[in-house]
Amino acid sequence: MKNKQKIGYFGLACLILAGLIFVKTEIAVIALGIMLLILLYSWEAKYFLFALLFLRAITDWFSQNNIVNQWQISYNYSILVGVIALAFSVLTILQNYKKTKTNRLLIPYLIFLTITALSLLASVNISASFTEIVRLVTIFSLAITASLLITNKQELLQLSAVMIFSAIIPTAVAYYQYATNTGLFVPFEGVSNRLLGTLAHPNLFAYFLIIPISLAVYFLIYQEKIFTTERKNKLFKIFIFIFLIISLPPFILSYTRGAWLALIITLFFVSIKRYKKFTFVILAVLIIPFFFLKPVQNRIENALSDNNSISWRLEYWQTGFKIAQNNLLLGNGPATAEKVMADKYATESGAEIAIHNDYLKILLDSGLLGLLAYLFLIVYLLYDLTKIYLNSKNKSSQTILLTALGLSLAIFTASFYDNIIRNTPLMWFYWVLVGVIVQNSD
């Protein structure tokens, strides 16, 4: 397909999408945004990918404001960006079909998505399950798309820089929340202002920041250069240093204990190749607030108290395993675990119950088959990263692979005690980054 045809078809799809939401004043902003995206796409597709990642980091901030309600479906900015990302990914994959078949993670992706789709047959909420399947397809198709567009070390560094830049607005919003005392209040845990940036919850914000912070540390340690002139590279280094300084306080003040641990795990792998002592510096930065900030002390002490988040997590997990046995093979359908748990506990408000364990969630959602497929994807990925690392003789490639390994182990460990797979911005960034690293590191 020629470039003009490609742009034309994509522009037509965007116009159709704009027509669906042509009922509110936001249409002017949306139309302008779509036109800018089309220009980026016509210039070079990888910049379109960069723009989508940047936008996805902030759209959850507006998720409560629906653009339009049609056919009993609510459309918000996150959904809009997701639909555009899916259309973009499908178009790119179709244009590069032969190359797509060589993707190292394609088979694990397809196995997991196929079994997840099959569990739709057993769903107790078809609408929620279908939406979740589309979300997962978007995540993994975007990862494949990124591996098609980002094909060398320099472009990978550009992608990493974009992910760091994407955290600027979420971090700035977190500072605004701190100044105006408009974060999340958790009085029963002694926390009055948990920062959440542009994401829907402090936990989501903290886990999301792990990738930009880790990549910033990587740039500082290994002195990677993304510009052709020394002056620009020096300015970029200064920016990275400033970003680290300003991003760590909101990260800590999200009071997300699991994310603190996940960052330590990641940075251990990032720094172990050259600066082993750097991990201990970061560890000190994360421990020092315990001695000076009462809310941080309360969060740590709460984990050790009798009535803590660990105890109710264990209770939920025990109940969840019992419920899972009722539909062990295919589960209750994607994105239904929270509803099934809420029905079990008969919550008066009808609010869903977050399980805080991705593996149990998948077991409830897609059954044993779905869980085995997800575990296969994880094991396959970790094995592939380790194998490539051991066979690589390029020190630069080894450091990137260690960074990917650290992120992977941190995220999959956190999945045992938190809600990670539902963190869409994090999943976009993680699978895009790791997918590119796996595909392009030899």
Looking at the domain assignment, is residue 378 inside a domain? yes
299 touches 92 (CB < 8 A): no
Residue 77 lies in a domain: yes
Instruction: Note whether 380 and 284 are same-domain residues.
Output: yes
Q: pLDDT tens across 217-268, in order?
A: 999 888 888 888 889 899 999 999 999 999 999 998 998 888 988 998 898 8
- Count of structural domains within the chain: 2
Amino acid (one-letter) located at 204? L
Same domain, 39 and 161: no
Q: What is the mean pLDDT of the chain?
A: 83
Residue 111: pLDDT above 70? yes
Residue 129 lies in a domain: no
Q: Is 422 exposed, middle or buried (0-12, 13-18, 19+ CB in 10 A)?
A: buried
Same domain, 262 and 358: yes
Choose the final residue of a domain: 91, 106, 121.
91
Contacts for 216 with CB less than 8 Å, ≥ 6 apart: 164, 240, 243, 244, 247
pLDDT of residue 30: 59
Mean pLDDT for 97-103 is 94
Give the pLDDT confidence score for residue 23 in this predicted structure.
Answer: 43
Task: Give 122-174 pLDDT, tens digit per residue.
Answer: 999 998 999 999 999 999 999 999 999 999 999 999 999 999 999 999 999 99
- Residue in the block written with tokens 């692979």: 401
Distance from C-alpha of 184 to C-alpha of 194, rounded to nearest angstrom: 5
CB 171 within 8 A of CB 247: yes
Same domain? For 296 and 405 the reply is yes
Question: Whole-model pTM above 0.75?
Answer: yes
Question: Are 366 and 129 spatial neighbours (Cβ–Cβ below 8 Å)?
Answer: no
Q: Is residue 219 part of a domain?
A: yes
Is the same domain home to 155 and 79?
no
**What's the per-residue H, E or C state across the chain?**
CCHHHHHHHHHHHHHHHHHHCCCCCCHHHHHHHHHHHHHHHHHCHHHHHHHHHHHHCCHHHHCCCCCEEECCEEECHHHHHHHHHHHHHHHHHHHCHHHHCCCCCHHHHHHHHHHHHHHHHHCCCHHHHHHHHHHHHHHHHHHHHHHHHCCCHHHHHHHHHHHHHCCHHHHHHHHHHHHHCCCEEEHHHCEEEECCCCCCCHHHHHHHHHHHHHHHHHHHHHCCCCCCCHHHHHHHHHHHHHHHHHHHHHHHCCCCHHHHHHHHHHHHHHHCCCCHHHHHHHHHHHHHHHHHCHHHHHHHHHHHCCCCHHHHHHHHHHHHHHHHHHHCCCCCCCCCHHHHHHHHHCCCCCCCCCCCCHHHHHHHHHHHHHHHHHHHHHHHHHHHHHHHHHHCCCHHHHHHHHHHHHHHHHHHHHCCCCCCCCCHHHHHHHHHHHHHHHHHCC
Closest CA to 302 of 412, 194, 410: 194
Same domain, 153 and 258: yes
Within-domain flag for 250: yes
Of the residues 91, 110, 140, which one is the last residue of a structural domain? 91
Tokens of 377: 């994807």
Rounded CA separation 389/384 (Å): 8
Region label for 418, one of left (φ > 0), alpha (ψ between -120 and 50) or beta (otherwise): beta
User: What's the confidence (pLDDT) of residue 339?
Assistant: 86
Query: Are both 417 and 298 inside the same structural domain?
Result: yes
Q: Do the Cβ atoms of 65 and 121 come closer than 8 Å? A: no
Output the pLDDT for position 26: 55
pLDDT tens, residue by residue, 30-69:
555 665 566 556 567 888 898 889 889 988 887 665 555 5
Residues 73 and 156 in one domain: no
Question: Does a structural domain hold residue 230?
Answer: yes
Contact 366, 115 (CB under 8 A): yes
pLDDT, tens digit, for every residue of 285-334? 666 665 555 555 565 555 555 556 677 778 888 888 999 999 999 999 99
Surface-to-core class of residue 300, CB atoms within 10 Å of its CB (0-12 exposed, 13-18 middle, 19+ buried): middle
User: Is the CB of residue 184 less than 8 Å from the CB of residue 202?
Assistant: yes
Q: Is there a contact between 168 and 179 (Cβ–Cβ < 8 Å)?
A: no
Q: State yes or no: pLDDT of 7 exceeds 60.
A: no
Nearest to 361 by CA among 428, 420, 426, 430: 420
Within-domain flag for 357: yes
Within 8 A by CB and 6+ apart from 357, the residues are: 313, 316, 317, 320, 415, 416, 417, 418
What residues make up the domain containing 65? 1-91
Tens-digit pLDDT profile for residues 334-382: 999 988 888 776 554 455 677 889 999 999 999 999 999 999 999 999 9
For residue 386, the model assigns a pLDDT of 94
Give the domain-ending residue among 71, 91, 111: 91
Contact (CB, 8 A) for 361 and 337: yes
- Domain shared by 166 and 74, yes or no: no
87 shares its domain with 166: no
Asked, for residue 76, whether it belongs to a domain, the answer is yes
Torsion of CA 303, 57, 110, 382, to 10 degrees: -50
pLDDT value for 67: 55
Q: What is the pLDDT of residue 71?
A: 47
Give buried/exposed letters for 26-58 (b at 16+ CB in 10 A, else e). Answer: beeebeebbeebbebbbeebbbbbbbbbbbbbb
Asked whether residue 25 falls in the same domain as residue 168, the answer is: no
Q: Are residues 166 and 49 in the same domain?
A: no
Percent of the chain with pLDDT over 90: 53
**Confidence band of 178 (pLDDT split at 50, 70, 90):** very high
